Amino acid sequence: MGVKNGFWLRRFAQAYLLALVFITGGQLLRGRPPEQAFSHGLLWALLTASVYLVALAWRARRGCAVCPDDG
């Protein structure tokens, strides 16, 4: 079962942006300067979205019910 590239990019972007908002917000609440909070958010959002995408790809290879067909 193949999955379109747009599906993977959209999922990565969604996970990345959501993680970026939450991680940066958490760092700001801890009292870090905005520049440091944002750079921290960028790094950890990239790692978070990458792990999410790898897990999603692994599930898709095993026959994911929510992954779209190439159709």
Compute the half-sphere exposure of residue 23: CA atoms within 13 Å on the CB side of its CA. 21
Residue 58 structure tokens: 């692994």
% of residues, the chain, pLDDT over 90 = 59
Residue 42 structure tokens: 């960028």
Q: Which of 15-19, 23-27, 57-61 has the lowest mean pLDDT?
A: 57-61
Print burial letters for 2-25: b (CB count within 10 Å at least 16), e (below 16). Answer: ebeeeeeeebbeebbeebbeebbe
- Domain map of the chain by residue range? 5-61
Angle at which helix 5-29 crosses helix 34-61, to 10 degrees, equals 150
* Prediction pTM value: 0.78
Q: Which of 17-21, 39-43, 57-61, 66-70 has the lowest mean pLDDT?
A: 66-70
pLDDT at 22 over 60: yes
